[in-house]
């Protein structure tokens, strides 16, 4: 079998990596050496690999800076409408290679480093992931930034510069152990501190009402220090900005008492203020109502709105003079998109600024606020919805609680006028939940305070209007929209799978990278023997490369001819990694029972982090590792079935695993996964999907053709019907012998002989209180997996289905998603035009 191709000469032929012109390469080498010279401290003669990485990063960054300045000048001259995407998470991963792809520098940099005796891939491995997100929501924000820049939109991502991102996951004796992610330890070459734009953010204190307005007094001040990261568009010379705020204590913080002991303590207490941006909360789809989290949410919102309003008031480049004072024009110049309810405080904060500081009348301010803000919902799981106790609000943000009460009073007046006498509807639609502890429902605040509300896949948007937001939909149907999620084809195809990008470009040209719908053009090659061969060959190369990576890092040997069956996502009951476990056990039992049969060999890989406080999710990881210990050491099975837990799943590991996958598992209970985006990445990279009719899977089946995905299980209506009838796990357990056998093995200690009752909580949950109905889909799932095995034995037919999937994945570009947000929510027009590069002479 041919060895993996990371070979320099082969790479040079890949046209999507850009041209390596002689002048270009010479200039890069000169700049690299200059940066290396300045990077090295005088007394250090020998450069380390990290020194080389920083020299390369700074060399590439030089190519961004001129374009970055030029882009901002371009925006100030044209004064376009600007969109502000506010998110508590931006899961960016690494920046170096993505920047080279978008600037068409990859081949030139490769050649320059090669001539300097260095291996560019090795240098890329030195970069830390920017892991400022938990999963889908944070990674979506990162894809959106790439698309907004590539579509020429004047866009800004605003978030928090967490000192510690998502924890690093270690597996120790089969258990997850968390380790702090000190990603800034060696410095970050991609960010630029902007202390000149530091902003004060207030907390605590009290309010006073005067005839001339309301004053917020005795508040504690924390400073927000911005760090800017450049966001390059794809080969259009546009470079937008992601601005992340870091918390700083003001100089006068706590220095009221001036005796020596008090002074030392006061300086040490500065940490308390600066803790706001210390660490990302590691929960995915779960609300933890902690004071520090609410502080983070208000911190990003307050600093960002000050920045938005400053930029609205001055419109000329480099000028700080105020030229705009008429706020009625704000919605014509500013769009604010709230990524879930985490930045919901933008609504009362904008009202506070307009009413208390800019002295606008309430009605005018409210009209401006609603026309400016829009809200994206990401989940229907009740435990994920943010509901903040009013007493915490009263203490931390007293003025905002008053504003929310006033918003609610007027909102309920409107509801009562529209639906007279319907008291239950008033209770359901209130922003304030009574009964027990009073709470603010942040989703309700977002709906009332926005002009557009969207779900992230058609089925999800339909569920919103039919269930949790039904009352609001009946009152204001015009607000509700769908915007199916997407992924950027730059990172998730060109960068992570250049071999596939190249065989596509050979058939249909390179324009598909900007317009992914052009992948439909591959349908005419569906019976082309050479194309089928090329697609299969690239997949095999990617599998060999990933197998080598696993061997090097996990010391596991895997069969590269086996089916690579992959489920990578956060560990959560609703994502049903347990259903996958039941299949692995069932397949194992079948091989043991009939060891001489021709079984389709599989390597099952599961990866993902469990929230540190989510006990069940941690037990699921322990079960996966325990199953692996038994199966991987059973000589009867050999290399026909292997189970691997992929440790520390993150953006950078996804970039290696996804191009190597044959089968993608997307098996959530219908109606629980809002969209999913990993599903789209696998589809684009030539894996087939086994999945339920949930989230974007539904639209993937529509685009690729129903028969080209392995669809199984209950639909949303079936789940609802089963809820009404009552779900009884024991009925399935007693009726299905293979399910019973698998469960008995888990509960009887077959996978944990030293601790036979290790998994008793999981067994008890599955048997008695499984909200996600794993057993109800087991039988159909196992049958569906049999059809997967059968098809895999016919490589040509398998590869044809792969081509249908790749050809059908155009819809799932984040360029399409962002073009729809721009036109249908923000009132902006995307453009594919290039602006002049800094070295172009204007005509």
Annotated catalytic sites, by residue? 378, 569-570, 575, 677, 681
Kindly write down the DSSP assignment for every residue of 556-579, as one continuous string: ----TTSEEEEEES---GGGTHHH
* Beta pairing, strands 439-441 & 387-389: antiparallel
Which residue's entry shows tokens 């027990």? Answer: 436
Please, what sign has the CA dihedral across residues 406, 409, 411, 417?
negative
CB 784, CB 690: distance < 8 Å:
yes
What distances in angstroms separate CA 756 from CA 39, 175, 745, 752, 822, one per listed residue?
A: 56, 16, 10, 5, 56
Whole-angstrom distance, CA of residue 452 vs CA of residue 612: 35
Whole-angstrom distance, CA of residue 184 vs CA of residue 90: 15
Q: What is the Rg, in whole angstroms, of the alpha carbon atoms belonging to the chain?
A: 28
Strand order in the sheet with 663-666: 641-646, 602-607, 563-568, 663-666, 688-691, 710-711
Whole-angstrom distance, CA of residue 823 vs CA of residue 837: 27
CB 211, CB 217: distance < 8 Å:
no
Phi-psi region of 100 (alpha: psi -120 to 50; beta: other; left: phi over 0): alpha
What distances in angstroms separate CA 786 from CA 479, 642, 668, one per listed residue?
A: 44, 17, 19
Nearest to 442 by CA among 499, 402, 390: 390
* Beta pairing, strands 192-193 & 199-203: unpaired
Whole-angstrom distance, CA of residue 651 vs CA of residue 527: 34
N-to-C CA span, the chain: 54
Kindly write down the DSSP assignment for every residue of 591-631, as one continuous string: HHHSTTS-PPPEEEEEE----TT-HHHHHHHHHHHHHHHHH
3-state secondary structure 769-799: CCCCCHHHHHHHHHHHHHHHHHHHCCHHHHH
CA dihedral 37, 41, 45, 48 (to 10 degrees): -80
Whole-angstrom distance, CA of residue 311 vs CA of residue 463: 38
Phi-psi region of 671 (alpha: psi -120 to 50; beta: other; left: phi over 0): left
Please, what sign has the CA dihedral across residues 132, 134, 137, 140?
positive
In sequence order, the 6+-apart residues with CB closer than 8 A to the CB of 340 are 87, 88, 137, 376, 377, 378, 379
* Beta pairing, strands 220-232 & 199-203: antiparallel
Tokens of 762: 């999981």
Nearest to 157 by CA among 191, 111, 123, 182: 191
In sequence order, the 6+-apart residues with CB closer than 8 A to the CB of 638 are none
């Amino acid at each position: 079998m041919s060895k993996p191709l990371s070979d320099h000469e082969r790479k040079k032929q890949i046209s999507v990596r850009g041209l390596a012109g002689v002048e270009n390469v010479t200039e890069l080498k000169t700049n690299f050496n200059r940066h290396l010279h300045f990077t090295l401290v005088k007394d250090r003669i020998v450069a380390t690999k990290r020194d080389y990485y920083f020299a390369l990063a700074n060399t590439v960054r030089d190519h961004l800076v001129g374009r970055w300045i030029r882009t901002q000048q371009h925006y100030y001259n044209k004064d376009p409408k600007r969109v502000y995407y506010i998110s508590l998470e931006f899961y960016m991963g690494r920046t170096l290679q993505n920047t080279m792809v978008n600037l068409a520098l990859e081949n030139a940099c490769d050649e320059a480093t090669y001539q300097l005796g260095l291996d560019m891939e090795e240098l890329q491995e030195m970069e830390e992931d920017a892991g400022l997100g938990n999963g889908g929501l944070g990674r979506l924000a990162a894809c959106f930034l790439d698309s907004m820049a590539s579509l020429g939109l004047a866009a800004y991502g605003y978030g928090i510069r967490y000192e510690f991102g998502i924890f690093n996951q270690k597996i120790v004796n089969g258990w997850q152990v968390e380790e702090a992610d000190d990603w800034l330890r060696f410095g970050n070459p991609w960010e630029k501190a902007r202390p000149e734009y530091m902003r004060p953010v207030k907390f605590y204190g009290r309010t006073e009402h005067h005839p001339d307005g309301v004053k917020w007094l005795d508040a504690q001040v924390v400073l927000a220090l911005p760090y800017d990261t450049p966001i390059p568009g794809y080969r259009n010379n546009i470079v937008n900005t992601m601005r992340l705020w870091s918390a700083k204590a003001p100089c006068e913080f706590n220095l009221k008492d001036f005796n020596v002991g008090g002074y030392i303590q006061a300086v040490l207490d500065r940490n308390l203020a600066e803790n706001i941006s210390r660490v990302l909360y590691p929960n995915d789809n779960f609300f933890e109502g902690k004071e520090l989290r609410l502080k983070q949410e208000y911190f990003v919102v307050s600093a960002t709105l000050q920045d938005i309003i400053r930029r609205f008031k001055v419109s000329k480049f480099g000028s700080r003079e105020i030229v705009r004072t008429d706020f009625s024009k704000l919605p014509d110049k500013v769009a604010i998109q709230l990524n879930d309810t985490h930045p919901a405080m933008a609504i009362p904060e904008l009202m506070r600024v307009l009413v208390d500081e800019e002295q606008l009348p309430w009605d005018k301010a409210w009209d401006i606020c609603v026309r400016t803000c829009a809200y994206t919902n990401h989940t229907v799981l009740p435990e994920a919805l943010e509901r903040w106790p009013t007493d915490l609000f009263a203490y931390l943000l007293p003025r905002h609680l008053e504003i929310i009460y006033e918003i609610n009073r007027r909102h309920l007046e409107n509801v009562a006028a529209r639906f007279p006498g319907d008291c239950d509807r008033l209770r359901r639609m209130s922003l304030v939940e009574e009964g027990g502890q009073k709470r603010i429902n942040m989703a309700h605040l977002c709906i009332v305070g926005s002009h557009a509300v969207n779900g992230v896949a058609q089925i999800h948007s339909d569920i919103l209007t039919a269930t949790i937001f039904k009352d609001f939909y009946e009152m204001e149907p015009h607000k509700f929209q769908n915007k199916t999620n997407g992924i950027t084809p730059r990172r998730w195809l060109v960068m992570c799978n250049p071999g596939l990008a190249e065989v596509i470009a050979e058939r249909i040209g390179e324009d598909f990278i900007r317009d992914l719908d052009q992948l439909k053009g591959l349908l005419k090659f569906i019976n082309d023997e050479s194309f089928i061969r090329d697609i299969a060959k690239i997949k095999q190369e990617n599998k060999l490369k990933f197998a080598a990576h696993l061997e090097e890092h996990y010391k596991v040997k895997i069969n590269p001819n086996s089916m690579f069956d992959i489920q990578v996502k956060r560990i959560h009951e609703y994502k049903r990694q347990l259903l996958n476990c039941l299949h692995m056990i069932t397949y194992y039992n079948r091989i043991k029972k009939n060891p001489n049969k021709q079984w389709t060999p599989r390597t099952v890989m599961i990866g993902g982090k469990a929230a540190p406080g989510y006990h069940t999710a941690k037990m699921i990881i322990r079960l996966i590792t325990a199953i692996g210990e038994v199966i991987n050491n059973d000589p009867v099975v050999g290399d026909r079935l292997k189970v691997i837990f992929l440790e520390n799943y993150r953006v950078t590991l996804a970039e290696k695993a996804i191009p190597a996958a044959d089968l993608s598992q997307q098996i959530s209970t219908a109606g629980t996964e809002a969209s999913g985006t990993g599903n789209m990445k696998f589809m684009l990279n030539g894996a087939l999907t086994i999945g339920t009719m949930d989230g974007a899977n539904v639209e993937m089946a529509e685009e690729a053709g129903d028969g080209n995905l392995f669809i199984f299980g209950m639909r949303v209506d079936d789940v609802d019907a089963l809820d009404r009838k009552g779900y009884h796990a024991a009925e399935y357990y007693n009726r299905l012998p293979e399910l019973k056998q698998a469960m008995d093995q888990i509960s009887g200690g077959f996978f944990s002989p030293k601790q036979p009752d290790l998994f008793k909580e999981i067994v008890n949950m599955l048997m008695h209180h499984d909200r996600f109905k794993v057993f109800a889909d087991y039988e159909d799932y196992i049958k569906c997996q049999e059809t997967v095995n059968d098809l895999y034995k016919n490589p040509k037919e398998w590869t044809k289905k792969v081509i249908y999937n790749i050809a059908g994945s155009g819809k799932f570009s984040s360029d399409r998603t962002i073009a729809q947000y721009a036109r249908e929510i923000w009132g902006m027009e995307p453009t594919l035009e290039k602006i002049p590069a800094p070295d172009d002479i204007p005509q």
